[in-house]
Amino acid sequence: MKGLLVVAFLPALISAIAVRPCPNNAPIPQEVRVVGCTAEPCIVQIGGVVDMDLDFVAARATNGMRATLDIFLGDFRVPYDLPAHQQQACNFLEVGSCPVTQGEFLNYHLSTPAVAPFAGITVDLQLQLADDNGQPLICYRSSATILPTMKFLLLVIACLPALALGLAVRPCSPNVPIPQDVRVIGCTAEPCVIPIGGMVDMDCDFVSPRASNDVRATLDIFLGDFRVPYDLPLEQQNACNFFEVGNCPVTAGEFINYHLNTPAVAPFAGITVDLQLQLADDNGEPLFCFRSSAQIVAVMFKEIVALVVVFSAVAQGLEVLQCSNNRPAPQEVIIPGCNSLPCTVPNQSDFNFSVRFAPTFPTNTLTVDVRASLLGLFLPYEVPDHLRNGCNNINTSCPLTAGQTVTLTGNAPVEAPLTGVTVTMEFEITGDGSQVATNVCANGSPHPSSVTISGCTQMPCDLIRGSDVGMVLEFEAPYAAQSLEYRVVATALGITAPYELPPDRANACNWLTGSACPISQGEDITSTLSMPVLPIYPLVTLVVQVSVVDENNRPHACFAVNARVVVAYTMFRALLLIALVPAVVYGNVGRACSGGRPQTTNVNIVGCTSEPCDLVRGQDVIAYVDFTTDRAVVSMTTVPTATALGITAPYPLPAEFADTCAWLEGANCPLSANEDATYRLTIPVLPIYPLVSLSIEIDIVDQDDDSVACFVVDARVVTAA
């Protein structure tokens, strides 16, 4: 899927290009020259430099001139903040000078970096020069197609981290090559510090010593001489999928950049281990292998895990949290020994629960799914078989009729990688009648007889960033076919683009249930699609169209679903492993706000141990804010304000991030007086933000707009390494 595109301005060749007037009907320049471009659309290489100049005659006198640049995706406007000195157009007149007289001939020159988080689409770029009163002297539009450079494309898509300095590593054994360079986010020297529950993000450069069709990645952990194998996810074992420079098959002497991003979780803390990463060729011989030491740390260590249970709003029993996506609410939830959230449960134990509900549709089966969140780590929870089959745990028997009252009892294991933390567990009970009423495709392709989408019973379906969306399709094959392929396209903001699937997931033959390719005409087919939702996808509403086509491009099934990309309601799983090298470190930062507003007790910003903190363009800043209420609070809103270059202005958050209550860890609103709370703050840093130093004030206000807690942190906007 291609998301929102932000680009610096359009480059110019020494030949004039034809441009178009702006909707405000302002004069256009006499001539516009863009380096490397002679006609629309100009090609913009991400990471290059835009260089253009234009000639015009001033329509009126003015003391100063202000330059503004906007990008349009269809009718959607994305403002681009030129650096402050480039906003003063008088500084970039090569013929003429300010103040400008009426009828004066001027030549204006702009040279600025071309930056974009996505590529492969065409946008409209609008440049305007305005007088002292903000009235345009000239304004024009020109189209540009954004293309990636070889290295920059995947560096941006993978959201490589802010701090990636070369790390000195050790060889695994004599005569085995090590990479030329290894960069680990948040680490410049051994041992790297791994906070349990973070994300590992690293990349390395190497020159392949020989040719190979495929490259396989393995990761091992050593406690002294004791080896603990780490099973990378299957797709990450295929290292070819994670080359950002180079591709498979690999030739001898080829330069390769390899990138790995994986969760860091561990069953223990306070020790130092050796981590070994190896990339091997077709014959299992290492292309490179290195070791690096890491220190495993945890924030706290107790013997109790606190649980926050998510079912839905309930009328009786324990007051639990509501699930997303308007899923049906149970009538009652009971956890013995727990009257309010969070419930306390000994680690490495089970907790019992019962839930009373009435299905809204008839069903022959009941399936119990459990997901959980811990320290921002999203992984599926491994549901025991005795719990998953809900029909075995109800006070009646399946099948069930619509509206029939049922009580399900069960017990769920709690195995957290560290204790003294709050874990949020989400329970979902689904039946075989919970298909989503999807839309037919506009091209007239056959519609499936049923579509089931994980976590969704009605549109729009939530696509959670950083997760996979599971879909089950049932259809009758209209043709005999040797092979089947999934094709997905997404339409957002008026732009339709392919939604790229990993090759193994796009091969629908790999995901048939009860059938196998080749298939026969009229055969009943059940297929599963697992669609990744990358963490960098923008928070937009979109339409996703899924097609199943054969080797002759004939459609066998097609449907469209209205959806929206939402932030991860992060999940946890009991599998206790160590990932590679640390992604982040934490440190208490920030200072008190002015005006005597209540102070926070602690502020930990991921990746920042001292000010100024780096705000990486195109990435989210995550902070954990501890505070104590001085009064009862019903609701809270986060209000950020930024001060840069002597100018103070609101720093608007998306609505879902501004709702403080939605991001409390281990508590929920309303809060009582003197209650301790931890808030997970997310601040998006748009790719268009200028590279400036600034201070950010975070004021958490209540329902009456009175401050509950406030802090200020010094920061700087930087580009991704």
Question: 311-364 pLDDT, tens per residue?
Answer: 433 334 555 555 554 567 788 888 887 777 677 776 667 778 888 888 876 777
Q: Is the pTM here over 0.85, yes or no?
A: no
What local confidence, expressed as pLDDT, does residue 74 receive? Answer: 62
Q: Are residues 615 and 692 in the same domain?
A: yes
Structure tokens at 144: 């540009």
Helix residue ranges per DSSP H, 623-716: 655-658
Picking from 104, 128, 148, the residue at the C-terminal end of a domain is: 148
Dihedral angle of Cα 357, 360, 366, 371, to the nearest 10 degrees: -70
- pLDDT cut 90: percent of the chain above it: 16
Q: Are residues 288 and 168 in the same domain?
A: yes
Confidence of residue 423 (pLDDT cuts 50, 70, 90): low
Q: Are residues 558 and 656 in the same domain?
A: no
415: pLDDT strictly greater than 50: yes
Structure tokens at 354: 């019962």
Q: What is the average per-residue pLDDT within 79-93?
A: 78
Name which of 25-29, 113-117, 254-258, 484-488 the model is least confident about.
113-117
**CB proximity list for 257: less than 8 A, separation 6 or greater:** 151, 203, 204, 205, 243, 244, 245, 246
- Greater pLDDT, 3 or 607: 607
196 in a structural domain: yes
What local confidence, expressed as pLDDT, does residue 589 receive? Answer: 75
- Greater pLDDT, 257 or 688: 257
Over residues 207-248, the pLDDT tens digits come to 888 999 999 998 877 766 656 556 677 778 899 988 888 889
- Greater pLDDT, 307 or 428: 428
Structure tokens at 153: 């494309």
Picking from 241, 276, 297, the residue at the C-terminal end of a domain is: 297
Mean pLDDT for all residues in the chain: 75
Name which of 114-128, 480-494, 704-718 the model is least confident about.
114-128
Confidence of residue 572 (pLDDT cuts 50, 70, 90): very low
638: pLDDT strictly greater than 60: yes
Q: What is the average per-residue pLDDT within 159-173?
A: 56
Could you tell me which residues are beta bridge partners of residue 526?
474
- Greater pLDDT, 626 or 4: 626
Q: Are residues 514 and 633 in the same domain?
A: no
445 in a structural domain: no
Q: Are residues 117 and 170 in the same domain?
A: no
Q: Are residues 165 and 288 in the same domain?
A: yes
Q: How many Å apart are CA 128 and CA 67, to the nearest integer?
A: 6
What local confidence, expressed as pLDDT, does residue 387 receive? Answer: 84
Q: What is the average per-residue pLDDT within 44-53?
A: 72
Name which of 47-56, 281-290, 677-686 the model is least confident about.
47-56
What local confidence, expressed as pLDDT, does residue 386 receive? Answer: 83
442 in a structural domain: no
Q: Is 534 exposed, middle or buried (0-12, 13-18, 19+ CB in 10 A)?
A: middle
What local confidence, expressed as pLDDT, does residue 319 receive? Answer: 57
What local confidence, expressed as pLDDT, does residue 185 receive? Answer: 74
Q: How many Å apart are CA 325 and CA 469, to the nearest integer?
A: 14
124 in a structural domain: yes
- pLDDT cut 70: percent of the chain above it: 74
Confidence of residue 146 (pLDDT cuts 50, 70, 90): low
Q: Are residues 354 and 248 in the same domain?
A: no
What local confidence, expressed as pLDDT, does residue 433 receive? Answer: 54
Q: Are 556 and 475 in contact (CB under 8 A)?
A: yes
Chain length of the chain: 721
163: pLDDT strictly greater than 70: no
Confidence of residue 485 (pLDDT cuts 50, 70, 90): very high
7 in a structural domain: no
13: pLDDT strictly greater than 70: no
Q: Are residues 24 and 100 in the same domain?
A: yes
348 in a structural domain: yes
What local confidence, expressed as pLDDT, does residue 143 receive? Answer: 83
Could you tell me which residues are beta bridge partners of residue 481?
519
CA 13 to chain centre: 36
What local confidence, expressed as pLDDT, does residue 162 receive? Answer: 28
What local confidence, expressed as pLDDT, does residue 323 receive? Answer: 59
Confidence of residue 76 (pLDDT cuts 50, 70, 90): low
What local confidence, expressed as pLDDT, does residue 697 receive? Answer: 92
Picking from 148, 170, 191, the residue at the C-terminal end of a domain is: 148
Instruction: Indicate the residue type of 576.
Output: L
The strand ranges marked E within 534-646 are 541-550, 555-566, 602-605, 613-616, 620-628, 636-644
Give the CATH number for residue 705: 2.60.40.770
Question: Which candidate, 401, 426, 398, places its Cα nearest to that of 412?
Answer: 426
584 in a structural domain: no
Q: Are residues 527 and 614 in the same domain?
A: no
527: pLDDT strictly greater than 80: yes
Q: Are 156 and 228 in contact (CB under 8 A)?
A: no
247 in a structural domain: yes
Q: Are 665 and 373 in contact (CB under 8 A)?
A: no
Helix (H, G, I), strand (E, B) or coil at 221: strand
Q: How many Å apart are CA 71 and CA 84, to the nearest integer?
A: 18
Name which of 166-170, 325-329, 450-454, 658-662 the model is least confident about.
325-329
Q: What is the average per-residue pLDDT within 51-60?
A: 89
Q: Are residues 27 and 139 in the same domain?
A: yes
597: pLDDT strictly greater than 50: yes
Q: Are 259 and 242 in contact (CB under 8 A)?
A: yes
Q: Are residues 176 and 140 in the same domain?
A: no
Q: How many Å apart are CA 679 and CA 657, to the nearest integer?
A: 11
Q: Are residues 458 and 548 in the same domain?
A: yes
What local confidence, expressed as pLDDT, does residue 583 receive? Answer: 26
Q: State the total domains in the chain.
A: 5
Q: What is the average per-residue pLDDT within 399-426?
A: 73
The strand ranges marked E within 502-586 are 524-533, 541-550, 555-566
Over residues 537-571, the pLDDT tens digits come to 667 778 889 999 999 889 999 998 888 877 643 32
Domain housing 513:
450-566
Name which of 348-352, 374-378, 518-522 the model is least confident about.
374-378
Helix residue ranges per DSSP H, 210-350: 234-237
Confidence of residue 463 (pLDDT cuts 50, 70, 90): confident
Confidence of residue 435 (pLDDT cuts 50, 70, 90): low
